[in-house]
Amino acid sequence: MGYALNFNLIWRHFDKLWGGLLLSLELAVISIAIGIVIGLVLAVWYVSAGRVVRTIIAAYVEFIRNVPLILLVYLVFYGLPTVVDLAYSAPTSFILTLSVYSGAYLVEVFRSGLEAVPRGQLDAGKAIGLTPWQRLIHVRLPTMLRITLPALSNTFISLFKDTSIASVISVPELTYGAQWINFNTFRIVEVYLVTTAMYLLTGYALLFGLRLVERRFRAAR
Amino acid sequence: MLTQIAYALPFLAQGFALTLWVSLLVVVLSLIAGVLLGVGLVYGPVPLRWAVRIFSDTIRGIPILVLMFFVYYGVPAIGLHLPSFWAAVLALTLFKTAQVIEYLRGAVGSIPKGQSEAAMAIGLTFRQRLAYVIFPQAFRRFLPPWINGVTDAVKGSALVSLLGITDLMQAINQVIGRTYEAMPLYILGALIYFAVNYALSLASRRLERRFSFIRE
């Protein structure tokens, strides 16, 4: 058990962790932005579509939710370029994967949100003469977004943690930085202690910040 | 292409068996640890509650991959010998335990206070109250999310491939390394994981519906 903690080497290479953390956040932000678009479009489509479309959207959601993320990351990065004529960098590949991944979770979030919009609001929209499109844009979506905000923040925080999987295709995010320091300095316990602290602090700071936003926009009950 | 994949099937089956074995170990060990710690969280003395709360919030706040590397590289670094298989199982179990703690807290917390008070009033001891009053009712709340959470253990087990353990994920990567048939094999792998996890989520949903008659 003779392990003496020595953080000097960690601080010397701290830019790997700090740069990694920023990249992790960037990956999460871009992915959830695309994921929100996918989720919104498919959820709105789902609630008004017939059986075939519903089955296809449900199949997408169920497939993504029941397959390990690491396999999807490999599939998009190593598998997809062998069958389609596309070339992309590892970060792009990961963003693509995480967007499609988060899209599947967000379809569910938005779908249940749309169903939770009180019937009376839609009737009221109809009564003042809004077209179906106007009812969607001005009544249904704003209320739905307020209802789904907590679930949206939770999804974002879990996506932030999921960005660690990007390290398996050598995207230099936080976990990759930690592994680099692990292999190059062998200050193993120290680097993972610091990395754990960084994930925790960022995660809880995000949670706290997003809860404030939620309070500001809370749906009227 | 198909012959190459057919040739690799027994190897993939071995990997799949290991995936199931890791998942089973993690599920059973985390169930025991999670229920014990969860009872500690709900009924324990304040220091124990705090310890369990900090444990659970820390574990759930970091990526499972970081936890895995921490255990795998960190445990030997402090001078303990731990084979990679058990390091992986330990890390996944810690992660899953935190989930089980929260399921248990949620389930027990949903039982009205009057139930405990009534049990106390008829003179049941703490253990009897748990065994005859609280747990039988909380069980129905605990089971559906827990079964659904088993899919997390199966999906999480794919990360052990990064520690050089030949589970289904690693077996697929090795076969691809030999055959260069990346896409068919990843899709095959995805379908296998999907089949297992989808069956579990269906079971969870069915149970939830079956137990949904229970009201406060």
Q: CA of A4, closest CA in chain B: separation in Å?
A: 9
Q: Which residue has the tokens 């992986």?
A: B88
On whether any CB of chain A is under 8 Å from the CB of B155, the answer is: yes
Task: List pLDDT tens digits, range A2-16.
Answer: 678 888 888 888 999
The minimal CB distance from A164 to the residues B66, B154, B190 is found for B66
**Measured between alpha carbons, how far is B65 from B193 in angstroms, rounded to an integer?**
19
The residue extents of the domains of chain B are 2-213
Q: Which of A52-56, A143-147, B1-5 has the highest mean pLDDT?
A: A52-56
Residue A199 or B144, more confident: A199
Q: What is the structure's pLDDT at B215? A: 54
Structure tokens at A106: 């967000």
Can you tell me the mean pLDDT for B199-205? 89
Q: Which residues of A touch B158 (CB under 8 A)?
A: 68, 70-71
On whether any CB of chain A is under 8 Å from the CB of B54, the answer is: no
Contact A102, A31 (CB under 8 A): yes
**Measured between alpha carbons, how far is A157 from A142 in angstroms, rounded to an integer?**
22
The per-residue DSSP string of chain B comes to -HHHHHHHHHHHHHHHHHHHHHHHHHHHHHHHHHHHHHHHHHHS-HHHHHHHHHHHHHHHHS-HHHHHHHHHHHHHHTT----HHHHHHHHHHHHHHHHHHHHHHHHHHTS-HHHHHHHHHTT--HHHIIIIIIHHHHHHHHHHHHHHHHHHHHHHGGGGGGGT--SHHHHHHHHHHHH--HHHHHHHHHHHHHHHHHHHHHHHHHHHHHGGG---
On whether any CB of chain A is under 8 Å from the CB of B202, the answer is: no
Distance from the first to the final alpha carbon of chain B = 58
Across the interface, whether the CB atoms of B176 and A78 are under 8 A apart is answered yes
Going by pLDDT thresholds of 50, 70 and 90, the confidence category of residue B35 is very high
Residue B20 has pLDDT above 90, yes or no: yes
On whether any CB of chain A is under 8 Å from the CB of B122, the answer is: no
Contact A105, A42 (CB under 8 A): no
Q: What is the structure's pLDDT at A109? A: 95
Q: How far is CA B178 from CA A18, A151, A183, B175, B186, in A?
A: 38, 43, 28, 5, 14
Q: What is the structure's pLDDT at B80? A: 86
Task: List pLDDT tens digits, range A135-153.
Answer: 888 999 999 998 999 999 9
Structure tokens at B87: 């390091």
The minimal CB distance from A82 to the residues B65, B183, B197 is found for B183
Across the interface, whether the CB atoms of B182 and A78 are under 8 A apart is answered yes
Which of A38, A35, A54 has the alpha carbon at shortest distance from A46?
A54
On whether any CB of chain B is under 8 Å from the CB of A63, the answer is: yes
The minimal CB distance from A192 to the residues B70, B79, B151 is found for B70
Return the CATH number of the domain spanning residue range A8-216. Answer: 1.10.3720.10
Residues contacting A221, CB < 8 A, separation 6+: none
On whether any CB of chain B is under 8 Å from the CB of A9, the answer is: no
Return the CATH number of the domain spanning residue range B2-213. Answer: 1.10.3720.10
Q: Which residues of A touch B183 (CB under 8 A)?
A: 75, 79-80, 82-83
The per-residue DSSP string of chain A comes to -------HHHHHTHHHHHHHHHHHHHHHHHHHHHHHHHHHHHHHHHHH--HHHHHHHHHHHHHHHTS-HHHHHHIIIIIHHHHS-----HHHHHHHHHHHHHHHHHHHHHHHHHHHS-HHHHHHHHHTT--HHHIIIIIIHHHHHHHHHHHHHHHHHHHHHHGGGGGGGT--SHHHHHHHHHHHH--HHHHHHHHHHHHHHHHHHHHHHHHHHHHHTPPP-
**Measured between alpha carbons, how far is B173 from A77 in angstroms, rounded to an integer?**
13
The minimal CB distance from B63 to the residues A74, A78, A175 is found for A175
Across the interface, whether the CB atoms of B74 and A189 are under 8 A apart is answered yes
Residue B150 has pLDDT above 70, yes or no: yes
Task: List pLDDT tens digits, range A66-111.
Answer: 999 999 999 999 999 989 888 899 999 999 999 999 999 999 999 9
Q: What is the structure's pLDDT at B213? A: 65
Q: Which residues of B touch A28 (CB under 8 A)?
A: none
ipTM: 0.90
Contact A45, A53 (CB under 8 A): yes
Provide the b/e sequence for B13-30 (b: ≥16 CB within 10 Å): eebbebbeebbebbbebb
- Read off the pTM: 0.91
